[in-house]
């Protein structure tokens, strides 16, 4: 039987299976939002995901753009602008090939610009729903902005942790693995170590070994997306901890 640990090599086989399932889970979480309650990069829960902006959204975008010109430091307007531009960018991406046209890249950069201007207004709190979209855009497969990705993913994680604490439950360990991927890409070594430990602590007891293996793999750069815009994973060399 599959779970007969007395069979030669069976225990090791099951460990590999669990590790594989952990990798699949994290991949599904990042790209499709599986199990996190968050929209993934190409999930149906993501506004604009896989579809162009509606006529109403386009009209809203044009209106907000004009308002921002008149009120360039209005945080709420900049937040709306970032959100709408992100919707347009994500909606124009081919979910099968991840191909990005020149116009799509311009939209993503415009969304990034509005997001940074929004953050400059020092909103408290930062809107986590917009952070979700921006974290997607900043990932290696798209704009490949590791620091921005880590910052946005941090907002998302903070919101999820606060929600979990309010509900009196542990936050999903997957949110820490997402943050860990971003921090490794941004070469934030110390923060990565902290959140790797958080992921293990948040995991169900029976899954902690598998989660630890996944966190270790991420920190070694073995489970992080490409950093050159290609679809081929690249190993990220981390700096010595003393340098951070």
Q: What is the per-residue pLDDT across 72-122, written as a single tens digit (0 to 9) for each?
A: 999 999 999 999 999 999 888 877 777 788 889 999 999 999 999 999 999
Chain-centre distance of CA 93, in angstroms? 16
Task: Please give the DSSP secondary-structure letter assigned to residue 100.
Answer: -
* Average pLDDT across the chain, whole number: 78
How many structural domains comprise the chain?
1
Q: 103 lies in which domain range?
A: 47-137
Residue 31 lies in a domain: no
Q: Is residue 17 part of a domain?
A: no
Model confidence at 212: pLDDT above 80: yes
Neighbours of 95 (CB within 10 A): 14
Question: Comparing C-alpha atoms, which of 128, 148, 126 is closest to residue 137?
Answer: 148
Give domain status of residue 4, yes or no: no
Cis peptide before 125 (omega within 30 of 0): yes
Question: Three-state SS string across 31-98, please?
Answer: HHCCCCCCCCCCCCCCCCCCCCCCHHHHHHHHHHHHHHHHCCCCHHHHHHHHHHHHHHHHHCCCCCCC
- In our burial notation (b when 16+ CB lie closer than 10 A, e otherwise), range 22-36 reads bbebbebbbbbbbeb
Q: Taking the CB of residue 204, how many other CB atoms lie within 10 A of it?
A: 9
Residue 113 lies in a domain: yes
**Residue 105, in any domain of the structure:** yes
Confidence band of 12 (pLDDT split at 50, 70, 90): very low
3-state SS, residue 205: helix
| Alpha-carbon gap, residue 46 to 29, rounded angstroms | 13
**pLDDT tier, 236 (very low <50, low <70, confident <90, very high otherwise):** very low
Task: Yes or no: say if 152 and 135 are a contact pair by the CB < 8 Å rule.
Answer: yes
Confidence tier at 52 by pLDDT (50, 70, 90): low
Structure-block tokens of residue 52? 């162009």
Residue 64 lies in a domain: yes
Is 89 within the bounds of a domain?
yes
Please say if the pLDDT value at position 192 is more than 60.
Answer: yes
Higher pLDDT, 19 or 150: 150
Cβ neighbours around 77 below 10 Å, total? 23
**Which pLDDT does position 126 carry in this prediction?**
96
DSSP 8-state secondary structure symbol assigned to residue 228: S
Is the pLDDT reported for residue 189 higher than 70? Answer: yes
């Amino acid at each position: 039987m599959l779970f007969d640990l007395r069979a030669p090599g069976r225990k090791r086989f099951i460990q590999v299976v669990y590790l594989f399932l952990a990798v699949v889970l994290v991949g599904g979480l990042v790209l499709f939002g599986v199990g996190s309650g968050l929209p993934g990069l190409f999930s149906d829960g993501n506004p604009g995901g896989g579809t162009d902006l509606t006529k109403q959204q386009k009209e809203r975008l044009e209106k907000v753009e004009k308002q921002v010109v008149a009120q360039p430091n209005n945080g709420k307007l900049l937040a709306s602008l970032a959100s709408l531009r992100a919707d347009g960018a994500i909606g124009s991406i081919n979910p099968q090939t991840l191909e990005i046209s020149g116009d799509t890249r311009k939209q993503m950069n415009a969304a990034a610009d509005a997001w940074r201007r929004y953050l400059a207004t020092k909103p408290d709190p930062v809107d986590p729903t917009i952070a979700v979209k921006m974290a997607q855009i900043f990932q290696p497969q798209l704009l490949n902005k590791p620091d921005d990705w880590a910052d946005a993913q941090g907002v998302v994680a903070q919101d999820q942790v606060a929600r979990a604490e309010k509900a009196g439950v542990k936050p999903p360990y997957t949110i820490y693995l997402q943050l860990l991927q971003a921090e490794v890409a941004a070469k934030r070594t110390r923060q990565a170590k902290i959140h790797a430990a958080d992921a293990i602590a948040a995991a169900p007891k029976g899954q902690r070994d598998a989660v630890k293996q996944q966190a270790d793999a991420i920190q070694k750069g073995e489970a992080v997306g490409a950093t050159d815009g290609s679809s081929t994973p690249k190993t990220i060399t981390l700096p010595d901890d003393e340098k951070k």
